[in-house]
Amino acid sequence: MTDAAKIEEKFWKHLRSDKTVFLGCEGAPPRPMTAIVDGDHNSGPLWFFGTTDSDLGRVLAANNKPGMMTFVNKGWDLWASASGTLSLDTDPARVERLWNPAVAAWYDGKDDPKLRLIRFDAREAELWEDGSTLAAGILSLMGRDPKDKAEDKKAHVRLD
């Protein structure tokens, strides 16, 4: 497995467990959202629950938009920035399948007329792992150039 593939695998693993990302598009500033990875495969789309009266819901009601998602895992050793397309989805079967107790805490039920699924079809992402300034400082103290190690810790990946 290449370094890029390992970093991408780590990204999907952390996204499944940590879930919180910033999601936005033109007209809807980035906001924290809970990502849902549907299935056990390492690919999209990613799903988010939202409402028609949020910035994102209003902007996407008109048409699909290019969107951006950023993510950092809870251990602060993996960062991601992904671009793709955002759209709304109202499929009741998909809402039923993706509904969970964490989502239920925020909404008035699966039949809430304002409830919408937001679909993010990520095309590509920049991924970085373990790029802390502490690690760079330690490498520098040891007489090593931290930039040399950094090249092995980032990847540009296709997610579609």
pLDDT tens-digit series, residues 10-19: 999 999 999 9
How wide is the angle at C-alpha 43 spanned by C-alphas 40 and 49, nearest 5°?
Answer: 80
What's the mean per-residue pLDDT of the chain? 87
Q: Provide the residue ranges of all domains of the chain, joining segments of one domain with +.
A: 3-158
pLDDT of residue 44: 78
d(CA 86, CA 63): 9
Q: For 95-136, what is each residue's pLDDT tens digit?
A: 999 999 989 998 889 988 999 999 999 999 999 987 555 555
Please give the model's pTM, rounded to 2 decimal places: 0.84
pLDDT of residue 141: 67
- Grade residue 33 by pLDDT with cuts at 50, 70 and 90: very high
Q: How many CA atoms lie within 13 A of 110 on its CB side?
A: 11
Residues 93-104 as b/e (b if ≥16 CB within 10 A, e otherwise) read eebeebbeeebe
Q: What is the CATH number of domain 3-158?
A: 2.30.110.10
